[in-house]
A and B are shown apart, each in its own frame.
Chain A
């Protein structure tokens, strides 16, 4: 495969730049702007939630909702305009009541879109972090340590079960959604098996895996099992940090052996840090390390996702404001020709989400997203 690529490149082809195909698809009119942005989010997001959101957007979920809203608005505009131009055939009698109920529906839908955007944003901004390891290596201590030291606990995520515990904490300025998992090991105990399955799920949905190893004890087959699972995830592009805990005790395992867990299977060994959660030694380094990974873009490109969301959110907010202004106009007994001013505005700004209305600032947006290189 690589050789073929090399060959075509040598014959004058060039590699597509990131997002180039998306840019072309958008500019070629095959996908709308919301979808194009979703692809860009997908490319740049190293984070599962963002991926899922982007994937839904890509399937056109957002586009379809926005399109629906626009169509409803357009119908009302068209009706008002027809009635103004052709009063003989289109009567506005009793129309304001009807428009009021349409506006209230629109308002409700847009408010719901916005509230979800808010939830999505919080989740999207954080890094889903799974703490894994065999039992009693200090996973819960790590969680408590991180949560306790940093008192800036943002939120508790509901759905905490007896086997996994989640906390949202800020480490080195970075938001982490920590999930403490049950120790992963082969088991015949049904209840424990559930815990193991859940731990696997946490692994599946994590962006960052903290693999905690008890440095005072020799490696076990359970460590091997966990390393294997992590390697699977690493192949999918997930990041892992190895945390050698209990450095305050006498070392029972060689660094080399830990590395071999991975290198023997042909994988690169993840970065390895030493700490003692008992004494607090090395925990600051852990925070710094995660923060650095984040800011160098290794974990997730926060800004890309954030802008796309902000733009969409801003547009929906403006459309909502306009619809509320229409309601005000109705309540103030204004005549129908005034309604279309704000209806038009709502229609237009929603159009900017789909790229169906091109505006100057939108152009800037397109530039920042798609105009890479040629």
Chain B
């Protein structure tokens, strides 16, 4: 059942974004920024975390999940550290993902060479 939910919800989010992309012709970078901000807003609204608890990776793997992670990190840090938490929480919660992308990305640039476009 986990897998069915992940497939259907994850697929559905991607399908909706596809419609949005076809209609607006927005660049991929803008779409990603939009999704992360949307995820943070939905996290703030208290919607996204329950959504992840229900849909699992169908909700957490799309980039909106990253935005939600950022907001949840800030919220937890504010609860424990007050105002200083605003400056700590986002990076604390997203550290693994960001470091991973940068480190693996850098390693890949050492190993692989740019491919010619066909």
> Do the two shown chains form a genuine complex with each other?
no
Q: Which residues of A contact B (CB under 8 A)?
A: none
